[in-house]
Amino acid sequence: MAGFYLLLAAMGGGITYVLGPLGIPEVGEELPAWAIAALVVLNLTVGVMLYLGFYYYTLKLVRGRTPSILGDLLCPFRRPLAVIGVAVLYALAVAGGLALLIVPGIVVALAFFYAGVALIDRNLGVLEALRESSRLTRGHRPTLLLMLLFFTLVDAALKLSVLLFFALVPLTPPPDTTTGLVADLLSLFVITPWEAASFMCAYEALLEEFHRPEVHAPI
């Protein structure tokens, strides 16, 4: 597991930290336009595939199996066009919903939440994965929303605790970038695995419920 976390931090976590939460580098004014474009493309391709691979790796752990870095974490790289296709369609659908009203955007995001995982786990096509996610989450989207809000609040509380620690403890005040890096690393190694395991447990439960012959997903 140590090697897995190091790889995640070096590849996926590193990309996320460089680009910032909105996909725009914090030092964007110091970078040429081509570098910013390259970083954004890297985040939307390699970053997306590593993110999905991390969830698929976690799913294997949830199922009691022994995952591997090459076979599971990097599994999305075997179908790069399909993974990117799902990510692009997901982003466009959510953006379209948000353009109308906030609520439709949230509903769409929750409906297609498991599209990427279903794409890899069940070896589906792009549109099939979107439909599968919509079927699995039907009737359970409020619960998924509450889970997302919970982990968002926990992550914010953790980062706030780090800031307060450096502000109150009588140590040499570190630079702002160091404080932010410590907070991001704690979030990456503590909150991210917890969140991924929780959502993969939910995915597994939804699969079992929906695909039992005598049970259909609630409307």
pTM: 0.78
Which of 92, 121, 137 is at the close of a domain? Answer: 137
Report the sign of the C-alpha dihedral through residues 99, 103, 108, 109, in that order.
positive
Domain residue limits at 89 = 81-137
Mean pLDDT, the chain cut into blocks of 10 residues (219 residues total): 48 44 45 79 85 93 89 90 92 85 87 96 95 95 95 93 81 64 85 93 93 51
| Statement to judge: residues 11 and 55 lie in one domain | yes
The tally of CA atoms less than 13 A away on the side-chain side of residue 116 is 30
Residue 65 near residue 72 (C-beta atoms within 8 A):
no
Provide CB contacts within 8 A for 162, sequence distance 6+.
179, 182, 183, 186
| Statement to judge: residues 147 and 210 lie in one domain | yes
pLDDT given at position 173: 56
Which of 78, 95, 129 is at the close of a domain? Answer: 78
| Statement to judge: residues 148 and 132 lie in one domain | no
- Distance in angstroms (rounded) separating the CA atoms of residues 140 and 147: 11
pLDDT given at position 27: 43
pLDDT given at position 28: 42
| Statement to judge: residues 74 and 121 lie in one domain | no
Provide CB contacts within 8 A for 112, sequence distance 6+.
90, 93, 94, 130, 133, 134
Number of structural domains in the chain: 3
- Distance in angstroms (rounded) separating the CA atoms of residues 117 and 59: 9
Read off the tokens for 119: 């794409």
Residue type, 212: R
| Statement to judge: residues 103 and 163 lie in one domain | no
Question: Strand locations in the chain, DSSP E?
Answer: none
| Statement to judge: residues 156 and 85 lie in one domain | no
| Statement to judge: residues 20 and 6 lie in one domain | yes
- Taking CA atoms, 34 is separated from 12, 20, 142, 144, in Å, by 21, 17, 41, 38
pLDDT given at position 13: 47
pLDDT given at position 86: 93
pLDDT given at position 115: 96
Phi and psi angles of residue 27, each rounded to the nearest 5 degrees, phi first: -105, 30
Which of 137, 152, 183 is at the close of a domain? Answer: 137
Read off the tokens for 28: 């964007």
